[in-house]
């Protein structure tokens, strides 16, 4: 049988291609059928495993092998173009994510060339694979060191940049000598690259830079003859010395840099201008010299340079409002040119900085008031630019331009963007508040907007009309006709709340007020919490004006609010009103229907303290985001400190302006106060017997107006609303509150205290000085002013000014005691802290306002606890 099989198969020794026929199916596709599977195993023969695959099978085939052959062939042929194409192919494969690290030795050999293009590509390859494989980096160090001594300065610079980019600790011993030698190179490009190499070396090992000659050499390069080297050096010193507050220039350095500033690029000029903000101007003559030199930079087309110069000019004239107004007149032209000529992104940046300048006061607004037409919106502008322009137009509108601005804003109401339409309507309302002569015209304009029958337009118009009648009650008669129309259109909660407030306040003047309120009460459970709260108050106010018409619907509303509503605030307010009505309707009317004061100014969107902090960080992202940098920057080391150039001292005989440039947030009546004003405060000190709600506001409440025809006025006792007793007998007998002895208040400082520089200076000059405190300072603990300010801020002690004078750091802080109601204007603590680093001493000078001896001792304890990290 074996012989028959052998005869059928044939003599295998005579088949020389047998081996190739066995290997061929392995190279074929896995989907192709195998012949032996169809025929089955050969009888009498064991199935043999496949032969082992050679270890170098994939090494001899594939992209890496082909690239190796290309590199070797190009080197053997000495064909530079072929070699460049091969290296370019390696870089392309590396970019695609293919691992070409096995070619490291060939690429190191390929770096031995004078072709600059090949050098760049080889260095890119070496840096890329040296970061992931430190063993391979050692192979490239000798090549890079050799190229750092090349005759060509471009090759020296490229080699040094690649050597510094390895970012490995084990190459520091090779990196430091190369960088130190390059800092003294005759070519500016090499020195410029070496300056950045110092920064990279600093991030690998800070001690190598700080404890060797690299830092003194770096400081000497600030006076280098090459402008690119100087700009790189300034940026490098700011990073290396960040823990010490950055690099602080001397008068000689600042003078030399300002004289050469026109030879720098725009980014170099920005670096010099940032450095200039740390310089303390000696006097007014030096201030004018600096401003005259920087005036030439305003002709540039770079928004970064123009805004940097703007910040310096505004900082230098911060204590001279009259001079600052002249400076802004000079700055207005370049800013408006950049706003109109730049791209949309840069235009937005310039616009938000102009808006920040306008928030400083009326003097700044007067500068741009005559050019209000420059801020009219174009139809094809993005929405974010239109929003800023609308805000600026709102601030620029005055007696002369208000009519033109309102007409322009009325056109934006029909914009395709709903947010622009809303903002335009709100802007029209703000103009009416700021310019009283336009109130009648604006009410007419808002009434005409309701004819558009657009939900969001009517909502905003209703909200604006509510604010207008709070400031101009005499205009309600003209706006009353729009209330009924708004109620049919408005569906948003803000609009409904505004209309309900109008119904409650002016229900006596609106003939159909109860009948307008009735359908809203039927859908009470479907409304939001804010609308339900406003509906409760409006219904109770209407009840006191027109009891017969509102009694039944008020009872139905109370029943829904107390028994069916699940909103805790709505239920609590309903219970409060219900108990007041049961105890005494007259007392309830006195509490709920108290007369309202006429509003002079509405609260700004951003409070004064936050606005000042944002303006201190002018020419940064803080101005764009309208938030301090601490809100969106996470700094691992020292906190972000805004650089603000200190103005020179005022000439003798000139005083700081006593009135703040910021407009007040909410003004009271214009009549003169009867009580004397306290120094540094805007409001009079109330008498001890004054009423907590404003001194007798509840004593002169007018009685409910008489109604035509038979009417019943609410009387005390009984079931006024036809609800029987919803509280199970608890409403008729209100228990008297039990007096609980109050615990003595603990001493704490307010975390929301705020004070401007003018108020601080006025108080500091008037208050008496307490004995000076001297505490030992721990050597090396206080590295910069930002660290000290950050340590005191969480305890409620805020900085008003700080700086470095020689070897000492000087601070001015303020704090306010929290929860203190005995003093009319609060208890304030003002202090001067001088940390003499050389003498290791901390000197504290304290002045207090309305604080007793106990409060002073407690404050000193809090202060010492806050400074504990710096004290010995």
Which residues, listed in sequence order, are joined to residue 394 by a DSSP beta bridge? none
Whole-number percent of the chain with pLDDT over 70? 79
pLDDT at 450 over 50: yes
pLDDT band at 440 (very low <50, low <70, confident <90, very high): confident
Q: For residues 102 and 129, what is the distance between their CA atoms, to the nearest angstrom? A: 10
pLDDT digits 0-9 by tens, 265-274: 999 999 999 9
pLDDT score, position 181: 92
Confidence of residue 558 (pLDDT cuts 50, 70, 90): very high
Residue 550 CA, distance from chain mean position: 50
d(CA 137, CA 131) in angstroms, rounded, equals 8
pLDDT at 14: 41
Task: Give the pLDDT band of residue 676 (cuts 50, 70, 90).
Answer: very low
Contact 517, 487 (CB under 8 A): no
Q: Quick one: average pLDDT of 494-500?
A: 89
State yes or no: pLDDT of 359 exceeds 60.
yes
More confident residue, 802 or 32: 802
Q: How would residue 658 be classed by pLDDT, with cut points 50, 70 and 90?
A: very low
pLDDT digits (tens, 9 = 90+) for 586-632: 888 888 888 777 777 777 666 778 888 888 889 888 899 988 888 88
- pLDDT-wise least confident of 703-707, 790-794, 820-824: 703-707
Long-range contacts from 177-182, C-beta under 8 angstroms, 24+ separation: 178/145, 178/148, 179/214, 180/212, 180/213, 180/214, 180/217, 181/148, 182/148, 182/156, 182/157
* pLDDT at residue 711 greater than cutoff 50: no
Q: What is the pLDDT of residue 455?
A: 84
Q: Which two tokens stand for residue 14?
A: 């005579």
Number of H helices, E strands in the chain: 40, 5
Where is pLDDT greater, at 193 or 717? 193
pLDDT at residue 43 above 70? no
Which tens digit of pLDDT belongs to each residue from 824-867? 678 889 999 988 887 788 889 999 888 888 888 888 888 988 88
Domain range list for the chain: 60-308, 378-482, 492-595+714-733, 757-870
Contact 747, 858 (CB under 8 A): yes
- 732 phi and psi angles, rounded to 5 deg: -80, -25
Out of 12-16, 337-341, 393-397, 830-834, least confident range: 12-16
Share of the chain above pLDDT 90, in %: 26
Residue 800 pLDDT = 87
Assign a CATH topology to domain 60-308: 1.25.10
273 CA to centre of own chain? 23
Decide which of 473 and 15 is more confident: 473
Say how far apart CA 384 and CA 626 lie, in whole Å: 14
Confidence (pLDDT) at 436: 84
pLDDT at 314: 92
Look at 823 and 370; give whichever has higher pLDDT. Answer: 370
Cα distances (angstroms) measured from residue 99 to each of 94, 131, 138, 139, 247: 6, 14, 19, 18, 44
Checking if the pLDDT of 156 tops 50, the result is: yes
* Higher local confidence (pLDDT), 347 or 748: 347
pLDDT bracket for residue 226 (50, 70, 90): very high
Neighbours of 19 (CB within 10 A): 10
Q: Which of 77-81, 232-236, 539-543 has the lowest mean pLDDT?
A: 77-81
Looking at per-residue pLDDT, the higher value among 545 and 48 belongs to 545
pLDDT of residue 25: 42
pLDDT band at 693 (very low <50, low <70, confident <90, very high): very low
Of 14, 34, 16, 15, which is closest to residue 24 (Cα–Cα)? 34
Question: Is the model's pLDDT at 100 over the cut of 90?
Answer: no
Question: What pLDDT sits at residue 477?
Answer: 74
What is the pLDDT confidence band of residue 739, given thresholds at 50, 70 and 90? very low
Average pLDDT over residues 109-117: 81
Per-residue confidence (pLDDT) for residue 606, from 0 to 100: 67
Predicted confidence band of residue 8 (pLDDT cuts 50, 70, 90): very low
The closest alpha carbon to 797, from 814, 819, 812, belongs to 814
Determine which of 15-19, 77-81, 745-749 has the lowest per-residue pLDDT on average: 15-19
Q: Which element (helix H / strand E) includes 773?
A: strand 773-776
For range 498-526, the mean pLDDT: 87
CA angle 81, 85, 87 (to 5 degrees): 115
CA angle at 344 for the pair 342 and 347, rounded to the nearest 5°: 55
Confidence grade of residue 652 (pLDDT, cut at 50, 70, 90): low
Cβ burial 725-736 (10 Å sphere, 16+ → b, else e): ebeeeebeeeee
Does 741 score more than 60 pLDDT?
no
Q: How sure is the predictor about 61, in pLDDT bands with cuts at 50, 70 and 90? A: low
Mind spelling out the 3-state secondary structure of 779-845?
CCCCCCHHHHHHHHHHHCCEEEEEEEECCEEEEEEEEEECCCCCCCCCCEEEEEEEEECCCCEEEEE
Q: Is the model's pLDDT at 734 over the cut of 50?
A: no
Rounded CA separation 633/30 (Å): 57
For range 17-42, the mean pLDDT: 41
Residue 207 burial (10 A CB sphere; 0-12, 13-18, 19+)? exposed
Residue 775 host element (H or E): strand 773-776
Q: Give the N- to C-terminal CA distance of the chain in Å, as an integer.
A: 105
Q: Residue 374: its pLDDT value, please?
A: 93
CA distance 665 to 678: 19
> How far, in Å, are 244, 272, 512, 812 from residue 710 at the CA level?
83, 83, 18, 70
- Among the listed ranges 181-185, 470-474, 580-584, 793-797, which one has the minimum average pLDDT value? 470-474
- Model confidence at 634, in pLDDT bands (50, 70, 90)? low
Mean pLDDT confidence for 110-127: 84
CA angle (296, 300, 305) in 5-degree steps: 90
Give 573's pLDDT tier (boundaries 50, 70, 90): very high
Residue with the larger pLDDT of the pair 64 and 222: 222
The secondary structure of the chain in percent helix, strand, coil, rounded to multiples of 5, reads 60, 5, 35
Q: What is the mean pLDDT of residues 700-704?
A: 38
Coil, strand or helix at 528: coil
Q: Please give the Cα distance from 137 to 579 (Å, whole number).
A: 83
The pLDDT of residue 751 is 84
pLDDT band at 703 (very low <50, low <70, confident <90, very high): very low
Q: Domain 757-870 falls in which CATH fold? A: TATA-Binding Protein (3.30.310)
What is the spatial distance between Cα 819 and Cα 826, in angstroms, rounded to a whole number? 9
pLDDT tens digits, 813-825: 999 888 765 556 7
The pairing of strands 773-776 and 841-849 is: antiparallel
Q: Name the average pLDDT for the chain.
A: 78
pLDDT bracket for residue 656 (50, 70, 90): low
């Amino acid at each position: 049988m074996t012989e028959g099989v052998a005869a059928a198969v044939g003599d295998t020794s005579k088949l020389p291609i047998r081996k190739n026929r066995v290997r061929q199916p392995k190279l074929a596709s896995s989907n192709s059928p195998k012949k032996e599977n169809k025929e089955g195993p050969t009888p009498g023969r064991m199935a043999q495993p496949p032969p082992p695959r050679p270890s170098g099978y994939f090494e001899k085939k594939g992209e890496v092998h082909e690239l190796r052959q290309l590199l070797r062939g190009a080197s053997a042929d000495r064909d530079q173009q072929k070699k460049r194409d091969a290296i370019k192919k390696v870089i392309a494969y590396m970019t695609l994510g293919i691992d070409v690290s096995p070619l490291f030795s060939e690429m190191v050999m390929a770096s031995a060339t004078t072709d600059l293009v090949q050098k760049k590509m080889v260095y890119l390859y070496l840096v890329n694979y040296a970061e992931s494989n430190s063993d391979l980096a050692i192979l490239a160090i000798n090549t890079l060191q050799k190229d750092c001594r090349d005759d060509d300065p471009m090759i020296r610079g490229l080699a040094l940049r690649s050597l510094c980019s390895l970012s490995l600790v084990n190459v520091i011993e090779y990196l430091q000598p190369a960088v130190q030698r390059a800092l003294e190179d005759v070519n500016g490009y090499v020195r410029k690259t070496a300056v950045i190499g110092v920064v990279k070396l600093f991030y690998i090992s800070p001690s190598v830079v700080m404890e060797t000659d690299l830092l003194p050499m770096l400081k000497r390069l600030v006076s280098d003859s090459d402008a690119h080297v100087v700009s790189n050096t300034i940026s490098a010193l700011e990073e290396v010395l960040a823990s010490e507050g950055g690099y602080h220039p001397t008068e000689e350095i600042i003078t030399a840099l300002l004289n050469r500033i026109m030879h720098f690029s725009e980014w170099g000029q920005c670096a010099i201008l940032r450095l200039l903000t740390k310089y303390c101007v000696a006097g007014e003559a030096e201030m004018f010299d600096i401003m005259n030199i920087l005036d030439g930079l305003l002709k540039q087309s770079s928004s970064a340079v123009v805004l940097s110069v703007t910040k310096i000019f505004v900082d230098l004239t911060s204590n001279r409002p009259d001079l600052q107004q002249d400076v802004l007149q000079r700055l207005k032209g370049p800013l408006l040119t950049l706003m109109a000529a730049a791209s949309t992104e840069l235009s937005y940046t310039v616009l938000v900085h102009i808006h920040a300048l306008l928030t400083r006061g009326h003097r700044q607004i007067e500068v741009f008031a005559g050019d209000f037409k420059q801020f009219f919106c174009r139809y094809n502008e993005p929405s974010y630019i239109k929003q800023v322009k609308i805000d600026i137009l709102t601030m620029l509108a005055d007696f002369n331009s208000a009519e033109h601005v309102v007409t322009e804003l009325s056109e934006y109401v029909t914009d395709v963007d709903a947010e622009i339409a809303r903002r335009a309507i709100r802007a029209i309302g703000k103009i009416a508040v700021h310019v009283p002569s336009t109130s009648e015209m604006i009410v007419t304009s808002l009434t005409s907007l309701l004819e558009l029958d657009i939900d969001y337009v009517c909502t905003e118009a209703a909200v604006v009309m509510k604010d207008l009648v709070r400031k101009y009650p005499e205009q309600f008669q003209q706006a009353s006709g729009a209330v009924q129309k708004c109620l049919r259109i408005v569906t948003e909660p803000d609009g409904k709340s505004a209309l309900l407030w109008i119904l409650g306040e002016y229900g006596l003047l609106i003939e159909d007020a109860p009948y307008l309120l009735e359908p809203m009460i039927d859908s009470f459970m479907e409304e939001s919490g804010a609308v339900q709260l406003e509906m409760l108050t409006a219904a109770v106010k209407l009840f006191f004006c027109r009891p017969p018409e509102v009694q039944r619907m008020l009872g139905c509303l109370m029943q829904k609010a107390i028994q069916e509503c699940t909103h805790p605030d709505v239920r609590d307010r309903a219970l409060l009103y219900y108990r007041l009505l049961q105890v005494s309707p007259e007392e309830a009317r006195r509490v709920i229907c108290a007369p309202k004061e006429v509003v002079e100014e509405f609260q700004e969107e951003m409070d004064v303290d936050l606005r000042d902090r944002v303006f201190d960080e002018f020419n940064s992202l803080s101005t764009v985001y309208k938030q301090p940098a601490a809100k969106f920057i996470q700094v691992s080391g020292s906190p972000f400190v805004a650089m603000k150039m200190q103005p020179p001292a005022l000439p003798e005989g000139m005083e700081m302006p006593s009135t703040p440039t910021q407009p007040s947030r909410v003004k009271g009546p214009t009549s003169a106060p009867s009580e004397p004003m306290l120094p540094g405060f805007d409001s009079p000190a109330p008498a001890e017997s004054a009423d907590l709600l404003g001194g007798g506001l509840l004593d002169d409440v007018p009685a409910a107006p008489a109604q035509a025809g038979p009417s019943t006025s609410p009387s005390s006792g009984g079931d006024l609303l036809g609800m029987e007793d919803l509280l199970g007998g608890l409403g008729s007998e209100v228990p008297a509150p039990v007096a609980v002895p109050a615990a003595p208040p603990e001493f704490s400082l307010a975390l929301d205290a705020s004070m401007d520089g003018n108020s601080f200076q006025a108080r500091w000059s008037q208050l008496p000085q307490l004995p000076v405190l001297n505490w030992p300072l721990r050597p090396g603990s206080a590295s910069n002013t930002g660290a000290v300010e950050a340590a005191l801020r969480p305890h409620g002690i805020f900085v008003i000014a700080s700086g470095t004078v020689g070897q000492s750091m000087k601070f001015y802080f303020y704090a306010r005691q929290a929860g203190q109601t005995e003093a009319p204007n609060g208890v304030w603590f003002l202090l001067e802290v001088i940390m003499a680093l050389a003498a290791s001493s901390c000197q504290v000078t304290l002045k207090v306002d309305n604080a007793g001896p106990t409060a002073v001792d407690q404050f000193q304890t809090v202060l010492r606890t806050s400074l504990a990290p710096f004290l010995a």
